[in-house]
Chain A
Amino acid sequence: MPEAGEKRKAEESYFADFAAMERASNGASWLRALRKQGMERFVEMGFPTTRQEAWRFTNTAVLAQTIFRPALPADDSSAIDGNAWFFRGEAARLVLVNGHFSARLSSPASLPRGVRVMSLRHAVESHGALVEERLGRFADSAHEAFVALNTALFTDGAFIEIADGVTLETPMHLVYLRSDDAEGTVTHPRNLVVVGRGAQALVIESYRSSAEEKYFTNAVTEFVVGENSSVEHVRLQQESGQAFHVGNVVAHQGRASRFLSHSVSLGAQLARHDIRSVLAGEGAECTLNGLYQVGGRQHVDHHTTLDHAMPHCGSREYYRGVLDGKSSAVFNGAIVVRKDAQKTDAIQSNKNLLLSEEATINTKPELQILADDVRCTHGATVGQLDPEAIFYLRARGIGLEAARHLLTRAFANDVISRIHFAPARERLEATLLSRLSAEWKPGEVL
């Protein structure tokens, strides 16, 4: 089987990357051990195949057969274009170009005491014990091949720590850019966010490229959400249309904490998002929102897991998809209610708008309920633009294309409007719109 041969070669190339890294590294032994474990698990598991239930509708064959070389630090300036910044206003920005921290493009902003924002690499050197205690604790290297691969090979990322009781209004923006010579390269961004008791934080991750190139991003972000704390997370995936993007987000929530996640996935030829939160303390609340909007031959997959481990927790999940062309999407929403998680209240909704007859969606709730006193509801819809609504708009003088755009935008905007942080919300509205039509003016309220 030539495919199997190609795949093995690609897997071997990751192993070679790992070996080279091991030779070069004189870093902390705990980290070397963690990486080694990751590599071993990846070699054992290999890339997932469509025979695995969680990957049934997302074929990684092309990704698995492509040999990507590790991305080298690039000339920062080539990655920067006018739109590189995701939103306006003050933020602590951590910028990584081709997976390497760029001190020149990053701006720490003036952060209050008790807040640490730095590159993960730096944190490993200066706050080793802190990182060691948390890194890889919740992301599942043992069962997730891409997490294992990331753990083995990550070069850098962000480390954020918010001390107990600190309320941080300034957003922390993690910007992953690709330079215009990133063709054929891979990065494994790794982020660790630790939010203390009663603290509050806003973390934005954006992934984008300035050039239409084929590359691979394999990111992992771990959140430790302390008791009574509140975290909003916005993740924008706007990679090149040729790119592969695999992103894992894992949150571990303490008692009475709130985690609000928004995943907006627009780019890449193949994007896979695994978003999981463990509600590990009583009274924790989690909201997972998401929007995927794809066209052409793009494929986007969201696998979400809400793991209710303790009683009296609530989760809300609200995902919408817009599919055009020959694109395809997957939504798989798992809700696990463990034996002790009585009084769980979980609501899930996934709505899809198909703009073309050739687009396909696979949507599935996956409920695993072991407690008896719970409320779990779920619903999924797949539909087209309503011709009567289009006629209504046209009968008021709005042209056919504009009417279609307006309705599509309104559908997508329903997710975006749930982002609390206004500058990110507005920037996203503008981004979505520029993909749809030139008629809208920035700042205009829909």
Chain B
Amino acid sequence: MLEVKNLHASAAGKEILKGVDLEVKQGEIHAIMGPNGSGKSTLAQVLAGRDVYAVMQGEIVYEGKNLLDMAPEDRAREGIFLAFQYPMEIPGVSNMYFLKAALNNVRKHRGLPDLDAMDFLSLVRQKMKLLNIDEALMSRAVNEGFSGGEKKRNEIFQMAVLEPKLAIMDETDSGLDIDALRLVADGVNALRSPERSIIVVTHYQRLLNYIVPDFVHVLYNGRMVKSGGKELALELEKKGYGWLEEELQIA
């Protein structure tokens, strides 16, 4: 489904990703861990098409297509979803309007007709229940005045409505208390399916207790330095990233 090969990316002339390789097959859940500044969020944003990052080298193939040739909106329409670490507030645009526009753009791309207001509402209600989201939130402006937890839940809610093929969760756990974390994890787990792949970018192992990955990768200083199963996350949690640094220096 997704193949990242020798990806080099920089921002403002500074190289952040220095040759990342990653392969994600359909239905798999991959966790990408790493200390602050290792390039985790950059990788997530590059996958979604953020243009402040310049790709200097390497390629990304998504479902057989060159992802780097695609505009961000086309990536979204093709089924890539980035749950933002810092979701934007959009004053003056209701959550409802925003989500409907997003969904109908995705549907149009898939050759489906626009959902009418009634069908949209019933779909939205069903997904709101899943994430325990208050209906009043739908008529509020996108993320405006939302708490940190509400913003993150809103991201997963959007993901539930848009039903992506590849979901990338960028530090979705940051700033969440344990209850909110569980809600978010339940929401994500409900979306697990053999057709859907998920990349979980996180600093801490905590989220991975709830969203159990198939593979864990460690991104360090712009490169994937270690990969393994879910037990790797536990090891990192126990020993910290310092252990890895030492190991890498020895190697």
Contacts and interface: CB of A to CB of B under 8 A. Distances in A.
A446 interface: yes
A411 interface: yes
B49 A394 contact: yes
Interface stretch (B9-17, B22-30, B85-93, B236-244): B85-93
Given A392-B88, A394-B73, A396-B99, 4 more contacts: A397-B102, A399-B73, A410-B92, A445-B97
Given A394-B76, A410-B92, A413-B92, A402 B101 contact: yes
26 contacts: A389-B88, A394-B76, A395-B72, A395-B73, A395-B75, A395-B84, A396-B76, A396-B98, A396-B99, A397-B103, A397-B105, A397-B162, A398-B73, A398-B101, A400-B73, A402-B105, A407-B90, A407-B93, A410-B91, A410-B92, A411-B92, A413-B92, A414-B91, A444-B97, A445-B94, A446-B92
- Interface residues of A: mostly helix, strand, loop or mixed? helix
Given A391-B50, A392-B87, A395-B49, A400 B93 contact: no
A394 B71 contact: yes
B90 A410 contact: yes
A393 interface: yes
A357 interface: no
B20 interface: no
Interface string B101-114: 11101100100000
A392 B96 CA distance: 15
* A-B interface, 9 closest residue pairs, ranked by CB to CB distance from nearest: A410-B92, A396-B102, A397-B105, A397-B76, A394-B72, A392-B88, A394-B73, A397-B106, A410-B93
Nearest to B92: A410
A39 interface: no
Residue among A387, A389, A393, A397 with most chain B CB within 10 A: A397
A388 interface: yes
Interface of B: 48-52, 71-73, 75-77, 81-82, 84, 87-88, 90-94, 96-99, 101-103, 105-106, 109, 141, 158, 162
A388 B82 CA distance: 14
A399 B102 CA distance: 9
A444 B117 CA distance: 10
Contacts of A389: 88, 90
A43 to B, nearest CB: 48
Contacts of A394: 49, 71-73, 76
B178 to A, nearest CB: 27
Nearest to B80: A395
Interface in A408-423: 409-411, 413-414
Contact of A406 (B49, B72, B88, B93): B93
B156 to A, nearest CB: 13
Nearest to A439: B101
Nearest to B52: A387
A444 B72 CA distance: 26
A414 B71 CA distance: 30
A391 B72 CA distance: 8
B91 A400 contact: no
Interface string A261-281: 000000000000000000000
B160 to A, nearest CB: 13
Given A391-B50, A406-B101, A397 B109 contact: yes
Interface string A372-408: 0000000000000011110111111111101100110
Nearest to B99: A396
Contacts of A411: 92
Contacts of B97: 444-446
Contacts of A386: 88
A396 B90 CA distance: 13
Contacts of A402: 101, 105
